[in-house]
Structure 1
């Protein structure tokens, strides 16, 4: 068995041309078990390597070193070389062993979470995602780790750097479920409930052969955000898997009951329901959202009034929606007008509210640009789906599988040839 010194010498001497790197890769694979057994003494050898020139070898040593036990006192000796490596490593070399790169990055994530300093891993993980991606449409297994650190560090806006990209290529189903779930949580943190619903919706309706815990937790938040944003819980779309449609409600009955209570529109009853089940919501880490559901009921009930009345006093609004004073009603109405959720004017002299029609005529330059950009996006997605469909239909594995599952055609299944052509 070669010594660590010999392995380091190979790394320093075979990190030039692509042929040399390929040969080095072969040698390093043979030394994996030995390097792992020497994990405790590898740290000093990392200082002898350049993370830019010797990326492949550095990664092998770093992976072996990080697989060992690292004490809290040694944390800086672990964090600094890992972060430096991620920032400077060669993309071409690390992609020769993506599993090792992923493993090192996940250990970095686990380490900063253990030290309760998630913010220290946010920037390195974002860089790691970019280096691992084959394109911006590629969802890597590191996306969810990056988003989790953004959530724990409350760096929600940094998470948008990957959430606002269209994803068409996924390595593992679990990566997609976690990406959608964490993405929904980030948009909830930013109070962008519409976008949160999109991501949670994708987690709930994604194809699944068996129910998974991520989809269950996503559906709980999906119910709460739907009530906050739309005032109702939509039914499952047709393309939702049978597994989800049959089982999700069974595991989220508390939240279904909450939605039914919300629909009744009585603030005191909803408040009592949440108070009664306070511990359950707390255990699910959904108590904050449940309280926002309660607060949104005022808004929803005021919106219902616009469908019945043309004018109404602030005191009447307060009485109907169960607010304590006319002043509280005024504050809610003003906030809803500012957010564009209702269209109304308040007469300060007599305290009357006049509800109005939506003034949007959908003919402004801004609206036309918005509609045009939406059309262009739909056309781009349609083109992408067509190309993906053509690619799959030509895939030998897919054609072979479909051919085995599809029964052979019988002769009389074909249309007969007209006699005049015989």
Structure 2
């Protein structure tokens, strides 16, 4: 490495010599990038190694309670820690070292090397899995995802890694604070994002929300996945389409068309793929209120189990009586419990019908009254709808305006991107209904799938 540091000790000397942000950005960063780009394998091994058997990260205070003392050297330690956790056989690294780095790093320095932040996030998951405790990666990733972006509305390469891990470890509630913040900012300068990062984040977010029975929010996440711009259908998008359709059946008893800006390739893939035909038949049976056909399709088709969607299918079946009652309300103002039972297929269970109506009223799904003589009077739905205050309305309008402005700016940026235009033209000219090969991006299955929680 002529003219470059030849060992980790030399690199550490440069790290310690760069005391200002300008020195870090203009001297240390080019040096580290040059080392990695010119000698990839050897450089990663050197950066992640030890010095005469001693751990330089520990010597800098990381893992010993001195993380804040190491914060001024964030860029250097980021390169070292991300290199180490990416090695096949890394030196022993303690949980405390990883957590301290994530809790004390200097965000402005870390944003100079967004690719290393993404590498670190994946390395933390790999380290935890190697130790047989994948849950140990959750807290470091939570710290990383909350401290790294300039504001919570940024999508980063850490987002899909964290939310996917929440799903694979079944710690769905841990993802809620992240999922509850709308994404309105994408900055390639500080976020080393790839197309599948957006898809995987929203897909896994939909799974987590669905597992928590937050179906309306789950539908929004799956819809973002399905309608993300593409000229070739992605495997992730098709899987999201399946789950979106089932959740819509749970919510409304029918499916709704995807947004008009959804790529025709994605819609064609869902309609024409052999793997989606069981879904189309099931959807049709539910929408025409053929309960027997729906139950038979759910029982006889293996495709739902293969896709780990049997939980959602069962939720649809459980919701059929609820949906049937709500459909009756559209036609009748008053019915007896016996009449309702006949209409929804529970004619031999009047107590069950009463329990169903009571449950629907209790959870706010139905506005109705049960009279002593066993008749049910359906009422207007206005009482079920919360009335927003003027302050809430004004706040929502401000948020909507800011979102529109951010999306407009992003659209202009993408429109000026030469790489994006060239890729779009290339994919258009290639034609066909090919699928992007993103199966490898899907969360790994370990025995019972995490998607079974849906």
TM-score by structure 2 length? 0.77
The answer as to whether partners of 1:4 and 1:35 remain within 8 angstroms in 2 is: no
Matched, 1:232 2:251: no
State the match for 1:318 in structure 2. 341
* 259, 266, 272: which one aligns with 1:250: 272
* 138, 141, 156: which one aligns with 1:140: 156
State the match for 1:4 in structure 2. 8
* 365, 372, 378: which one aligns with 1:355: 378
Could you list the runs of 5+ residues in structure 1 that have no partner in the other structure?
402-422
Mapping for residues 297-308 of structure 1, pairs under 5 Å: 297-308=320-331
Matched, 1:84 2:100: yes
- Cα distance, 1:210–1:78 mapped onto 2, change above 3 Å: farther
Q: For residues 387-422 of structure 1, give each alpha carbon's deviation from its aligned partner in whole angstroms, at most 9, with x where no partner exists.
A: 5567678x5969x99xxxxxxxxxxxxxxxxxxxxx
In structure 1, distance between residues paired with 2:117 and 2:260: 39
In structure 2, distance between residues paired with 1:387 and 1:8: 41
Worse-matched range after superposition: 243-252 or 29-38: 29-38
Q: For residues 214-243 of structure 1, give each alpha carbon's deviation from its aligned partner in whole angstroms, at most 9, with x where no partner exists.
A: 101100000100000111011233222121
The answer as to whether partners of 1:35 and 1:61 remain within 8 angstroms in 2 is: no
Q: For residues 133-159 of structure 1, give each alpha carbon's deviation from its aligned partner in whole angstroms, at most 9, with x where no partner exists.
A: 243332111111111122233333332
- Cα distance, 1:369–1:6 mapped onto 2, change above 3 Å: closer
Mapping for residues 169-318 of structure 1, pairs under 5 Å: 169-170=185-186, 171-251=193-273, 252-277=276-301, 279-318=302-341
In structure 2, distance between residues paired with 1:276 and 1:128: 45
State the match for 1:405 in structure 2. none
1:182 deviation in Å? 1.4
1:253 deviation in Å? 1.8
* 47, 58, 62: which one aligns with 1:47: 58
Matched, 1:327 2:351: yes
Mapping for residues 145-184 of structure 1, pairs under 5 Å: 145-170=161-186, 171-184=193-206
Q: For residues 2-43 of structure 1, give each alpha carbon's deviation from its aligned partner in whole angstroms, at most 9, with x where no partner exists.
A: 3333333333x3141234434333444455444434456467
In structure 2, distance between residues paired with 1:367 and 1:343: 22
In structure 1, distance between residues paired with 2:410 and 2:81: 38
The answer as to whether partners of 2:223 and 2:258 remain within 8 angstroms in 1 is: no
In structure 1, distance between residues paired with 2:232 and 2:382: 48
The answer as to whether partners of 2:285 and 2:291 remain within 8 angstroms in 1 is: no
Worse-matched range after superposition: 207-216 or 27-36: 27-36
The answer as to whether partners of 2:278 and 2:297 remain within 8 angstroms in 1 is: no
Greater relative contact order (Cα < 8 A, sep 6+): 2
- Cα distance, 1:150–1:371 mapped onto 2, change above 3 Å: same
Q: CA RMSD in A?
A: 3.0
In structure 2, distance between residues paired with 1:48 and 1:361: 61
* 71, 81, 105: which one aligns with 1:62: 81
1:371 deviation in Å? 4.2
1:384 deviation in Å? 3.7
Worse-matched range after superposition: 49-58 or 371-380: 371-380
The answer as to whether partners of 2:223 and 2:244 remain within 8 angstroms in 1 is: yes
Counting matched residue pairs gives 393
User: SS at the partner of 1:52?
Assistant: helix
- Cα distance, 1:369–1:355 mapped onto 2, change above 3 Å: farther
State the match for 1:123 in structure 2. 139
State the match for 1:409 in structure 2. none
In structure 1, distance between residues paired with 2:246 and 2:387: 35
The answer as to whether partners of 1:14 and 1:24 remain within 8 angstroms in 2 is: no
Could you list the runs of 5+ residues in structure 2 that have no partner in the other structure?
62-69, 187-192, 423-454
- Cα distance, 1:358–1:137 mapped onto 2, change above 3 Å: closer
* 14, 19, 24: which one aligns with 2:17: 14
In structure 2, distance between residues paired with 1:98 and 1:386: 24
In structure 2, distance between residues paired with 1:301 and 1:351: 19
The answer as to whether partners of 2:335 and 2:375 remain within 8 angstroms in 1 is: yes
Worse-matched range after superposition: 252-261 or 232-241: 232-241
